[in-house]
């Protein structure tokens, strides 16, 4: 997701459109990318470290984006 | 995220690039959108129903995408 201090024009465009579509009560909207990776073999610490490195160097632009790595069975 | 039966060229492009960048062991990559909504007031069932409707009619293209709504404090 874009870092909080980075302007998010896409999120703002969505937020401005919501009331016109009848959806009230949303104070802020942020839009970002989501990757689902299917890992071969066990997701042990080594695999997690590798995925974290992958996200940091390739999947995210860490100059403007924050990322989190979550394991889902 | 794109439905499983829908071709995901972006995800495939990422998956093909990973070994060239030295990242092995990833069987599949899917890429999609993520929205973070800040809700005014309490996130009760009514608010959740409203957000689910918002996602279904506006934030997701339910012809080709699945979506999940998660509450994070």
Nearest-CA distance from B5 to chain A in Å? Answer: 15
Average pLDDT over residues B20-36: 94
pLDDT band of A73, cuts 50, 70, 90: confident
User: CB distance A29–B39 less than 8 Å?
Assistant: no
Per-domain boundaries in chain A: 1-32, 35-73
Enumerate the residues of chain B whose CB falls inside 8 A of the CB of residue A57. 21
Query: Going along chain A, which residue ranges are E strands?
Result: 26-39
**pLDDT 10s digits, A53-64:** 999 999 999 999
**pLDDT 10s digits, A5-37:** 999 999 999 999 999 999 999 999 999 999 999
User: How many CB atoms within 10 Å of residue A43?
Assistant: 15
Assembly ipTM: 0.86
What is the four-CA torsion angle of B10, B11, B14, B19, rounded to 10 degrees? Answer: -150
Please name the member of B17, B25, B40 whose beta carbon is closest to the beta carbon of A41.
Answer: B25
Could you tell me how far CA A7 lies from the centroid of its own chain? 15
Per-residue pLDDT at B60 exceeds 90: yes
pLDDT band of B29, cuts 50, 70, 90: very high
Per-residue pLDDT at B9 exceeds 90: yes
Could you tell me how far CA A6 lies from the centroid of its own chain? 14
Q: What is the pLDDT of residue A28?
A: 95
Pairs of residues, one from chain A and one from chain B, whose beta carbons lie less than 8 Å apart? 96
User: CB distance A39–B23 less than 8 Å?
Assistant: no
Query: Percent of chain A having pLDDT more than 70?
Result: 100
- The verdict on A11 touching B (C-beta cutoff 8 Å) is yes
């Amino acid at each position: 997701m874009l870092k909080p201090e980075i302007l998010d024009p896409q999120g703002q465009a969505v937020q401005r459109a919501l009331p016109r579509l009848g959806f009230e009560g949303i104070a802020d909207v942020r839009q970002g990318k989501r990757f689902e990776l299917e890992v071969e073999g066990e997701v042990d610490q080594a695999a997690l470290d590798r995925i974290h490195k992958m996200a940091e160097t390739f999947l995210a632009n860490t100059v403007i984006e924050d990322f989190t790595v979550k394991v889902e069975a």
